[in-house]
Structure 1
Amino acid sequence: MTDISQLDGSQLDGSGLDGVEPLLVTQGSLAHGVPDHVPGTLYARSLSGGVRLRPRPDRKVTFGRNKPEVQVCVGGDDQNVSRKHGTVTFHDGAWWLRNIGRRNLQLPGTQQLFTESDPYPLAPGYTPVFIRTAGNRSHLVEIYVSDGTGQGPVSAHGAPTFEGHQWLLDRREKLALIATAQPYLLHEDHPEPWSREAVANLLDEIDPTGGWTVPVVGHTVDRVRKRLAKNGVPGLLQDEVGQRGGSRLKHNLIMELLASRTLVPPDLAILD
């Protein structure tokens, strides 16, 4: 099967069951966008894999934890996720998201989709949908609707525009920055970076042999910030932000990592 990154939409023939075409299990995050020339083409993906569908009346994708019954399996090891938790259906010229599970669906910002809620219309571009369960677990279904331009990601829900350059991070840098950027990756309203203390406590639980102290977290994040500043990224040095201090520097760093798609919502799985 052709990798999704090589598709232009003309290669989607809808020959799968009910028009559902599987994506490669190794396919990367849909936050990177899809250069698809067919407007309204739907892509849905979890860590277990995903599907794509051309827009046709009453075509539907179901997601949940019971793999034999759904097209997109999510939270397969978590009984707090319903066997069938949600659907995306095409009608009236748009894709509509519906919650049919026990837990709410968390949409970008503070919006939540309840079982009793009306279906939610999906705009062109990228929409992360989270199912939050016990023990602070978050399960992600990524949804991408093509606008037909073939230009990749659309800045849906105020997401930053991708400029085509991803920064290299080592394992420890990425772990520290994912933890710091959780509110941003969860698409919360008015996100703020986690403090070094909170990140150190979390990483000490996840990686108890990693030596995650408050100073280590601070040095790790600062190392990345200074490296990007040397490579010309503005707003990452103290004299550029005045008295607003470390929180503003961390915010600017996170925004650059999001804009470059260096950090994407599926990265949160590393904290699970």
Structure 2
Amino acid sequence: MRRLVSTAALALLAGGIAAPALAQTPPATIGERYVPAPWWMRDPVIASMGFVRTEVQANRAGFSATFQVVDRSATDASRAAADRVRALSQALAAYGVDKVRVETTLTTRPLYDQYRDESGVLRDNVRSDRIERYQADATVSITIRDITVLERVYATVLASSPTSVGQVGFNLEPDNELITWLSGEAVKDSANRARAAAANAGASLGPVRVIDPTGRACQTDVLAGWPSYSSGGGLATTVDSSEVVVTGSRARSVAAPPPPPAPPPPGTAPSEAQIEAARLALQPPLRQITDSACVVYGLSN
């Protein structure tokens, strides 16, 4: 009977039924006197956690502008608002979707006659027969995928005389080249830390046992029944990314700008002089990006 139970247990293990439960269970109970070590700790090793950081100029930007029109009818208000953004949308679309993406939305709402109640509070007389006018808002949402055209695009929008313009927001979307480079720097940092630690302890590095880009091999709590995968500690090493991502700003003249020309008529794109007059300095900020890696080395005296 005991043999049948053992065979059934082996069948469950071979079929993978018990595998998910075992994967969640550490190989030892916290508090036990002896804890089995991972395979790469059978001999003296040093597990070194590389942690690097760098600052890269933001490569994405976005903002929105609203053109508001009030008219007697909803149709007239919507048409007038659409006319104000049509030429601007066409001018921005000319940059191409790889540089500038434009999304235009149009909303219309009624403006009611107002009255004061017995407390003197001004309220809307929300009735269909008390609509005085209609307000149409044409909103242009712009995403800049090429930072080099940000200032000109922003100036073009300002020169179009919008009712309101939102704040420019920046963010960083690392490309594959930057991600790969930073991952390599993390491995180099782990090697430098391991080499220094071994030298300070009077030992020398042996062959590489494990290279773990996730860093979990360096976060196992062997004393409490691994794996625990606690968060990595220590300060990040700052690395220079100037050779990978070009950053910097163009030199600018400090002379006083000329007086702004008259705004363009509704439905027409702003002229070159109007765009230059509305141009502002928009310096993309730096964004921090980090990466980590774990490398386990053997040790020799």
| TM-score normalised to structure 1 length | 0.22
Rg: which structure is higher? 2
Instruction: Specify which structure has the higher proportion of strand.
Output: 2
Bigger RCO (CA 8 Å, 6+ sep): 2
| TM-score normalised to structure 2 length | 0.21
